[in-house]
Amino acid sequence: MTQPANTPSPAAPKVALITGVTGQDGSYLAELLLEKGYIVHGIKRRSSQFNTQRVDHIYQDPHERNPRFHLHYGDLTDSSNLIRIVQETQPDEIYNLGAQSHVAVSFESPEYTADVDALGTLRLLEAIRILGLEKKTRFYQASTSELYGLVQEIPQKETTPFYPRSPYAVAKLYAYWIVVNYREAYGIYACNGILFNHESPRRGETFVTRKITRGLANIAQGLESCLYMGNLDALRDWGHAKDYVRMQWMMLQQETPKDYVIATGVQYSVRQFIDMAAKELGITLSFEGKGENEKAVAIKVEGDKAPAVRTGDVIIQVDPRYFRPAEVETLLGDSRLANNELGWHPHITINQLISEMIDTDIAISEQQALLRKQGFTVAVPKDK
Ligand code: NDP
Ligand code: GDR
C-alpha cells in the first residue's frame, strides 16, 4: 500500500473538479469552494434545454478577468472525455457528485444507472491513475444511506452491514468499494461520504420532500387540487444540503482519507413531513384510511398562505404507482464518528428546512398563479 496524496502548496489557489455541478449538492458545493478561494471546474451534460439554473448565479463570464468558475461539457459514461477534463484541469480535489440519483427511476433504467453511478466512479479513478495524479488529486465519492437498504442495525453507522434494495443502491455499492479498493491499492486519497437524505429549495422536484412542498404550494394557490403520493410510512433522516456539502469539503482536508456517515440522527415519516409542510401553509390535515386508500383532508385553514384551500378538501391521496418494487422502509444515521473526529454537526433543523422550502415554493406558485390570472398558460407538470 502506498502513501496518501500530499497536501498541495498553500500559496496557489486549490483547484476542484465537481461532477454533477448542476445538481442540488453540486451547486451548494461550488458556492462553498468559491467562497474558500478555490478555482472550480464543473462538468455539465449536454441538454436540449438549459440545465444550469442552479449555478447560473455563480457563473462567471469567460470574458471577465481571471474567472474562477468554469463549466465543461462531459458525461460520466464517457471515459475519454473524463480523462481529457482531468488532464486539462489538474484538480487537487475531485468531488464525484454526478449520478442518476433517483431510486425509483433506477428500477426503470438499471443498466444506465449502473453505467453512470458505478462505472462512472471507476472511470474517474482510472483517469487519476492514467494521468499519474495518485499523489496529487484527492477524491470524494457521494455514497449513500441507500447502501443500508434493508437495515441490519438501528441507527446505521460506518460499520453497519450493507443490504442495497435498488439498482441505484447496488450501483452505489460498487462505487463505494472501488473507492476503498483504489485507496488501498494505489494510495489515492479517496473517501466515501455515506450521506443520509438531504434536501433544500434546490432539491429536484420528483424527490419526496420537494414534491410535497412544491405540490402543497401549488394547491395553496389553486394551481393543482390534489397531490398523489407513494408510501407515506417510509421513515427518513432528513438534513439540509448546505450542512452536508460543508462535510464533503471537510472530509478531503484531513490527514488521512476515511469514510464517514453524515446524518442528523432524527427520523420522520413521509406522512409527518407532509403534515409539517402543510402546517407551514396554515393547513391542518387529517389522515384517513389505510394503505392504498389513505388520503389527507384539510380540517382547518388559517392565515393567508393557502387562499385556494377550503376545509374538507382532499389534498393528498395515495397512488400505488409511486410504490417501489423493493422499498427502503427506514433509515436513521449515527454520525458520531464525524461529530467527534471532524467536529461536524448539522446547523439547520428540519423545521427551518421545511420553512425555507415552503417559502421558496410559495413564491414560485404565487408568480405562476398571477400569470394564469393575467391569461397566460401555466402548465404544471403532472408526471412526478
Ligand atoms: P441531483 O440529482 O440533484 O444531481 C445529480 C447531478 O448529476 C446533476 O448535475 C446531473 O446532471 C448529473 N448527472 C446525471 N447523470 C450524469 C451523467 N451521466 N454524467 C454526468 N453527470 C450526470 O443529486 P444530488 O445533488 O441530490 O446528489 C448528489 C450526489 O449525492 C448524487 O451522486 C447522489 O446519488 C448522492 N446522494 C444524494 C443524497 C441526497 O439526499 N441528495 C444522499 C446521498 C447521496 P443534470 O443536472 O443534467 O441532470
Ligand atoms: P430516496 O428519496 O429514495 O430516499 O433517495 P425520495 O425522496 O425519492 O424518497 C424518500 C422516500 O419517500 C417515499 N415516497 C416517495 N418518494 C417519491 N420520490 N415520490 C413520492 O411520491 C413518494 N411517496 C413516498 C419513497 O418510497 C422513499 O421511501 C434519495 C436520493 O437523493 C438518493 O440519490 C440518495 O442516495 C438517498 O436519498 C439517500
Angstrom distance (rounded) from CA 195 to CA 237 = 10
Predicted pLDDT of residue 259: 98
- Active-site residue set: 144, 146, 168
Predicted pLDDT of residue 211: 98
Shortest-distance Cα residue to atom 26 of ligand 2: 231
- For residue 207, the CA-to-ligand 2 centroid distance in Å is 5
- Hey, which of 28, 199, 207 would you mutate to test ligand 2's pocket, going by the most ligand atoms within 8 Å of its Cβ? 207
pTM comes to 0.96
Cβ atoms of 100 and 113 within 8 Å: the answer is yes
- For residue 77, the CA-to-ligand 2 centroid distance in Å is 24
Report, as ranges of residue numbers, the positions in the chain whose pLDDT lies below 70.
Answer: 1-10
**Residue from 134, 104, 101, 132 nearest 19 by CA:** 101
Predicted pLDDT of residue 64: 82
Predicted pLDDT of residue 10: 58
**Residue from 98, 23, 16 nearest 54 by CA:** 23
Task: Report CA-CA distances (Å) from 235 to 89, 149, 266, 329.
Answer: 41, 12, 10, 6
Q: Which atom of ligand 1 is nearest to the CA of 98?
A: 7
- For residue 123, the CA-to-ligand 1 centroid distance in Å is 16
Evaluated on CA atoms 77, 79, 82, 86, the torsion sign reads positive
Q: What share of the chain is helix, strand, coil (3-state, %, to 5)?
A: 40, 20, 45
Task: Report CA-CA distances (Å) from 196 to 23, 243, 250.
Answer: 16, 12, 17
Task: Report CA-CA distances (Å) from 284 to 158, 212, 268, 296, 353.
Answer: 39, 15, 18, 10, 19
Shortest-distance Cα residue to atom 3 of ligand 2: 103
Q: Which atom of ligand 2 is nearest to the CA of 204?
A: 31
